Amino acid sequence: MNAARRVIAHLDIDAFYASVELQRHPEARGRPLVVAGVGPRSVVTTASYEARRYGIDSAMPAARARALCPDAIFIAPDFAAYRAKSREVWSIVRARFETVGQAGIDEAYLDVSSLERPLPALRELVAQVRERTGLQISVGVGPSRLVAKTVSSAFKPAAFVAMGREQAAAHFAGHAVRLLQGIGPKTAQRLAVAGVATVGDLQRADHTLLAQRFGERQALALRARAHFHDDSPVETSRVAKSRSSERTFPADVSDQARLEQTLVELACELGVGLRTRQRRVRTIAVKVRLDDWTTVTRARTLPHFTDEGATIAATALELLRAYAPPRPVRLLGVRVASFDDESGGTPAAGHGGQLTLQL
């Protein structure tokens, strides 16, 4: 019918680290479980759904999580175990689907446009992953990455929901603008001052007024996002020139120790991705977005290729310390580039070799 029809799925493993830990600690089943680093300044890496009922969430200081639910079981993260499990899951996915763009240790986008019946194929995949790994995947399906991700996030755990663009725009109209990827607390606050609280408000917001406050480009981007317009491609590892992992904090962070811990976690995630793909890199960059949206990138190219999270982390930490963020940080990211097999990369069919450079 429509040659340009795009069908994108976002797959997200439910409470990934907590689920892996529950498999290893069956006695914790049904109880609130929190995976968090040790030490007074550590943050929550992940929380089981039982723990989330107490208001515990990722990136929250572990001390606060303990205060919210003293009876929760606290377990230190074991990234080697998560890496192994992640590899298991995504190799099952890659065996069944061609265009898989991994976006993190527990999430990926699939371009399933070429499939005649994508939903049954995805359902089979979810069942197979559950059967073989014991993990539940949430699936959001839509015409874009934005719709797919919003849907999987909104309906997880055990989500399996498909929506069109207009349907998403209508369905989420009553939700706070924070629902939209890329709109964090500060932007939400600035929008609130302009009388824009919900996605629907943003859809209807006066462009001139938005442009006055945010500038022409960001105003257009915000409006497009509220209407769920997004044509970004699913970036597979074969076409990727760089990979990045980033985190927007629920509240801006000044605490250097917390920034550094987050950076280490992001670096470890990237290391996992590299080893999964058997690729190595030489260039490591950090991206820091301050509370005033100033975005700074610092990069360094190493003399040798690496796929080690520890090496990426060490370099990223040096870069962060050298920059020494002068204001609270809203987003922190790590990017790796200069792959050892760069010249051999061929664009995946159907994407016209299009690249999405995240920095």
CB of residue 242 vs Mg ion: minimum separation in angstroms? Answer: 23
Size of the chain, expressed as the number of residues it contains: 359
Give 17 or 339: the residue with its C-beta nearer to Mg ion: 17
Question: Do the strands 33-36 and 73-75 form a parallel or antiparallel pair, or are they unpaired?
Answer: parallel
Q: Which residues pair with 335 in a beta bridge?
A: 244, 285
One residue of 42, 90, 101, 106 binding Mg ion per CB under 5 A: 106
Stretch that binds Mg ion, among 8-16, 188-196, 249-257, 340-348 (CB under 5 A): 8-16
Strand ranges (DSSP E) for the chain?
8-13, 33-36, 44-47, 73-75, 100-104, 107-111, 137-142, 160-162, 242-253, 281-290, 295-306, 329-339
Stretch that binds Mg ion, among 12-20, 37-45, 242-250, 291-299 (CB under 5 A): 12-20
Active site residue 107: yes
Give 13 or 268: the residue with its C-beta nearer to Mg ion: 13
Give 106 or 307: the residue with its C-beta nearer to Mg ion: 106
Give 16 or 228: the residue with its C-beta nearer to Mg ion: 16
Task: Give the span between the Cα atoms of 189 and 192, in whole angstroms.
Answer: 5
- Give the position of tokens 């870069």: 319
CB of residue 268 vs Mg ion: minimum separation in angstroms? Answer: 16
Stretch that binds Mg ion, among 53-61, 99-107, 143-151, 294-302 (CB under 5 A): 99-107
Task: Give the span between the Cα atoms of 129 and 236, in whole angstroms.
Answer: 20
Residue 324 to residues 191, 295, 330: CA-CA distances in angstroms? 29, 13, 14
Distance of CA 121 to the CA centre of its chain: 24
Give 129 or 202: the residue with its C-beta nearer to Mg ion: 129
- x/- letters, 14..33, toward Mg ion (CB under 5 A): --x-----------------
One residue of 8, 11, 12, 249 binding Mg ion per CB under 5 A: 12
Residue 92, C-beta contacts closer than 8 angstroms, at least 6 positions apart: 125, 128, 129, 132, 133
Task: Give the span between the Cα atoms of 172 and 181, in whole angstroms.
Answer: 13
CB of residue 120 vs Mg ion: minimum separation in angstroms? Answer: 23
CB of residue 58 vs Mg ion: minimum separation in angstroms? Answer: 9
CB 280 within 8 A of CB 305: yes
Per-residue tokens: 189: 């606050």
Q: Is 201 in the site for Mg ion (CB under 5 A)?
A: no
Size of the site for Mg ion (CB under 5 A): 4
Stretch that binds Mg ion, among 105-113, 244-252, 261-269, 291-299 (CB under 5 A): 105-113
CB of residue 13 vs Mg ion: minimum separation in angstroms? Answer: 5
Residue ranges of alpha helices (H) inside 62-117 are 62-68, 79-96
Stretch that binds Mg ion, among 6-14, 77-85, 110-118, 349-357 (CB under 5 A): 6-14
Q: Is the peptide bond before 157 cis (omega within 30 degrees of 0)?
A: yes
Q: Which of 21, 50, 107, 246 is catalytic?
A: 107
Give 16 or 339: the residue with its C-beta nearer to Mg ion: 16
Residue 345 to residues 32, 238, 322, 336: CA-CA distances in angstroms? 45, 6, 33, 16
CB of residue 14 vs Mg ion: minimum separation in angstroms? Answer: 6
Cα angle 176, 178, 183 (rounded to 5 degrees) comes to 140
Give 81 or 302: the residue with its C-beta nearer to Mg ion: 81
CB of residue 246 vs Mg ion: minimum separation in angstroms? Answer: 15
- x/- letters, 32..71, toward Mg ion (CB under 5 A): ----------------------------------------
> Which positions touch Mg ion (CB under 5 A)?
12-13, 16, 106
Q: Which residues are catalytic?
A: 107
